[in-house]
């Protein structure tokens, strides 16, 4: 089955455990990491980050202390995001670089249209 990412970017992408991804869940666009796959059902268990994606490069994202995971169907996977940058500051969090943000914005805009 081809996901949204494949249809929009006209390329096929095979997702794997530990891939950082952008996906649709509960009416929003979320970032997370794949923790498990289901070959039988063709979906992915994704550990979602604390905040919905707002595409602001200055926004830091974190994983909640309590793992928040849910199964995401392949057609709700928007795109791989690539690895995040980690900031060890006062409140440790992850950041996307500007190129990653632009890619995610473009994919999400195409999805909305």
Distance CA 56, CA 53 (A): 8
Bridge partners (DSSP) listed for residue 105: none
Give percent helix, percent strand, percent coil of the chain, each to the nearest 5: 20, 35, 45
pLDDT given at position 67: 74
3-state SS class at 72: strand
Tell me which of 5-9, 38-42, 69-73, 76-80 is least confident. Answer: 5-9
Task: For residue 7, name the pLDDT band (cuts at 50, 70, 90).
Answer: very low
Strands 28-38 and 43-48: antiparallel
Q: Band of the pLDDT at 53, cuts 50, 70, 90?
A: low
**Domain locations in the chain as residue ranges:** 4-112
Topology classification of domain 4-112: SH3 type barrels. (2.30.30)
Give the predicted TM-score (pTM) of the model.
0.74
């Amino acid at each position: 089955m081809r996901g949204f990412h494949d249809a929009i970017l006209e390329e096929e992408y095979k997702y794997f455990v530990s891939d950082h991804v952008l996906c649709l869940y509960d009416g929003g666009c979320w970032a997370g990491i794949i923790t498990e796959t289901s070959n039988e059902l063709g979906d992915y268990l994704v550990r979602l980050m604390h905040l919905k994606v707002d595409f602001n490069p200055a926004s830091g994202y974190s994983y909640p202390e309590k793992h928040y995971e849910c199964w995401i169907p392949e057609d709700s996977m928007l795109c791989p995001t690539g690895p995040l940058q980690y900031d060890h500051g006062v409140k440790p969090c992850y950041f996307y670089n500007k190129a990653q943000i632009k890619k995610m914005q473009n994919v999400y805009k195409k999805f909305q249209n």
